[in-house]
């Protein structure tokens, strides 16, 4: 239904209407004001102070470094000594070789078939020479010595050198245990020991000895 065109002059009155109280609209709470930020100036001031302190410290260190350079004594570079030659190894002086002991007199070889006649002959070396002697109790002359030695192995010889020469079989290649004669008829006799050596009783100065066959040999004879 359309509203009347002219409603301004119409008095509606108040009867039949209930008054309506309009609730007030809520008021929006204002946001709290932010506290003024004062940190930025403080940070800037702190940074400026740090930069100033760093600059002062840098200048102090540079100045100290220059002072050290000016005051530090110049230390010469250590000189490297030339390497010393290695000492030659000490070689101990060689010990002197001990003096060789004198070679013992060669032991006489036993005569062929002699039964140890050379051993008996050697046993009486050192006994005195006595003219006419024929035993250890009295001493020996040359033929007394040979006759005594051979008697110990069972061979009987004449008493004198000449008689022994006459009874022996002459040999050109003497062997140990043969008789060796000097002169003809023989005036001296010994027992050949081999290797150019002999046992004999030569004179009062030597007695019974083992020695080299000396010159004057007239021959050799075999009695064994």
Catalytic residues, by residue number, are 142, 188, 200
Rg (the chain; Cα; Å) = 75
| Runs of H (alpha helix) within the chain | 39-71, 117-123, 142-152, 161-167
Virtual torsion, Cα 32, 33, 39, 40, nearest 10 deg:
130
Q: How many helical (H) and strand (E) elements, i.e. helices and strands, does the chain have?
A: 4, 8
CA distances from 40 to 47, 49, 54, 143 (A): 11, 14, 21, 151
Residue 149 · residue 124 · CB < 8 Å: yes
């Amino acid at each position: 239904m359309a509203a009347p065109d002219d409603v301004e002059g119409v008095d509606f009155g108040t009867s039949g209407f209930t008054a309506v109280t309009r609730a007030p609209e809520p008021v929006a709470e204002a946001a709290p004001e932010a506290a003024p930020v004062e940190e930025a100036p403080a940070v800037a001031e702190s940074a400026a102070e740090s930069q100033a302190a760093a600059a002062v410290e840098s200048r102090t260190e540079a100045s100290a470094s220059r002072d050290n350079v000016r005051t530090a004594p110049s230390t010469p570079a250590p000189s490297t000594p030339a390497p010393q030659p290695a000492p030659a190894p000490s070689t101990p002086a060689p010990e002197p070789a001990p003096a060789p002991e004198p070679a013992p007199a060669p032991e006489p070889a036993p005569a062929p078939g002699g039964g140890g006649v050379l051993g008996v002959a050697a046993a009486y070396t050192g006994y005195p020479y006595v003219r006419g002697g024929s035993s250890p109790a009295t001493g020996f002359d040359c033929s007394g010595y040979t006759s005594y030695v051979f008697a110990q192995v069972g061979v009987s010889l004449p008493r004198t050198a000449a008689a022994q020469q006459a009874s022996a079989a002459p040999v050109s290649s003497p062997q140990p245990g043969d008789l060796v004669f000097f002169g003809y008829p023989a005036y001296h006799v010994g027992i050949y020991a081999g290797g150019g050596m002999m046992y004999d009783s030569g004179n009062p100065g030597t007695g019974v000895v083992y020695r080299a066959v000396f010159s004057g040999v007239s021959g050799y004879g075999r009695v064994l």
